[in-house]
Structure 1
Amino acid sequence: MRTQSQADPDGRMPLLDHLRELRNRLIKAILAFLAGVIIGWLLFNPVWEFLKEPYCSLPQSRGVVEGNKCALYVNGIFSSFFLKLKISCIIGGVVSAPVWLYQLWAFVAPGLYKRERRWTYVFMGAAIPLFFVGTALAYVTVDKGLALFLGFVAEDVKPLITVDSYLGYVLTMLLVFGLTFELPLFVIILNLAGVLPSARIRKTQRVAIFGIFVFAAVATPSADPFTMLALALPTVLLFEIAALLAFLNDRRKARRPDPYAGLSDDEASPLDLAGIDAELERGERRP
Structure 2
Amino acid sequence: MARRGRIENPQGRMPLAGHLREFKRRFLIAGIAFGLCAIGGFFLAAPVLQLLSSPLDDLRAQGLAVDLNITNVTQAFDVQMRIAFMLGIILSSPIWLWQLLAFIVPGLRSVERRYVFGFVGAAVPLFIGGCLTGWYVLPRIISLFVGFTPAGFSAYLGAQDYWDFSFKLVFAVGVAYVLPVIVVFLNLAGVYEGKTILKGWRWAVLAATLFGAFVTPAGEVLSMFIIAVPMVVLYFAAAGFALIVDRRRAKRALAEESRVA
Shorter-chain TM-score tier: 0.7 to 0.9
Q: How many Å apart are 1:15 and its aligned residue?
A: 1.0
CA contact (8 A) 1:62 1:71 kept: no
Which segments of 5 or more consecutive residues in structure 2 lack a partner in the other structure? none
The code of the aligned residue for 2:27 comes to: L
CA contact (8 A) 2:181 2:238 kept: yes
Q: What is the aligned partner in structure 2 of residue 83 from structure 1?
A: 79
Q: What is the aligned partner in structure 2 of residue 275 from structure 1?
A: none
Aligned equivalents of 2:218 and 2:172: distance in 1?
12
The code of the aligned residue for 1:19 comes to: L
Q: Within the alignment, does 1:137 sit opposite 2:133 as a pair? A: yes
Aligned equivalents of 1:261 and 1:5: distance in 2?
39
Q: What is the aligned partner in structure 2 of residue 35 from structure 1?
A: 36
CA contact (8 A) 2:187 2:194 kept: yes
Q: What is the aligned partner in structure 2 of residue 180 from structure 1?
A: 176
Q: What is the aligned partner in structure 1 of residue 54 from structure 2?
A: 53
> Structure 1 232/63 Cα, relative in aligned 2: closer, same or farther at 3 Å?
closer
More divergent stretch after superposition (248-257 vs 160-169): 248-257
Aligned equivalents of 1:60 and 1:72: distance in 2?
16
| SS of residue paired to 1:196 | coil
| SS of residue paired to 1:181 | helix
Q: What is the aligned partner in structure 1 of residue 143 from structure 2?
A: 147
The code of the aligned residue for 1:170 comes to: S
Q: Within the alignment, does 1:243 sit opposite 2:239 as a pair? A: yes
Q: Within the alignment, does 1:124 sit opposite 2:143 as a pair? A: no
Query: What is the Cα-based RMSD across aligned positions, in Å?
Result: 2.7
Q: How many residues are matched?
A: 258
More helix by share: 2
Q: How many Å apart are 1:191 and its aligned residue?
A: 2.0
CA contact (8 A) 2:46 2:80 kept: no
> Structure 1 96/184 Cα, relative in aligned 2: closer, same or farther at 3 Å?
same
Aligned equivalents of 1:254 and 1:6: distance in 2?
39
Aligned equivalents of 1:51 and 1:260: distance in 2?
60
Q: What is the aligned partner in structure 2 of residue 266 from structure 1?
A: none
Which segments of 5 or more consecutive residues in structure 1 lack a partner in the other structure? 65-69, 263-268, 271-287
Equivalent residue in structure 1 for 2:230, among 216, 227, 234: 234
Equivalent residue in structure 2 for 1:258, among 235, 255, 258: 255
Q: Compute the TM-score of the two structures, normalised by the length of structure 2.
A: 0.87
Aligned equivalents of 1:113 and 1:239: distance in 2?
28
Aligned equivalents of 1:174 and 1:99: distance in 2?
22
Q: Compute the TM-score of the two structures, normalised by the length of structure 1.
A: 0.80
Q: What is the aligned partner in structure 1 of residue 69 from structure 2?
A: 73
Aligned equivalents of 1:154 and 1:4: distance in 2?
76
Aligned equivalents of 1:61 and 1:78: distance in 2?
32
Aligned equivalents of 1:6 and 1:88: distance in 2?
49
Aligned equivalents of 1:141 and 1:100: distance in 2?
30
Q: What is the aligned partner in structure 2 of residue 160 from structure 1?
A: 156
Aligned equivalents of 1:36 and 1:4: distance in 2?
39
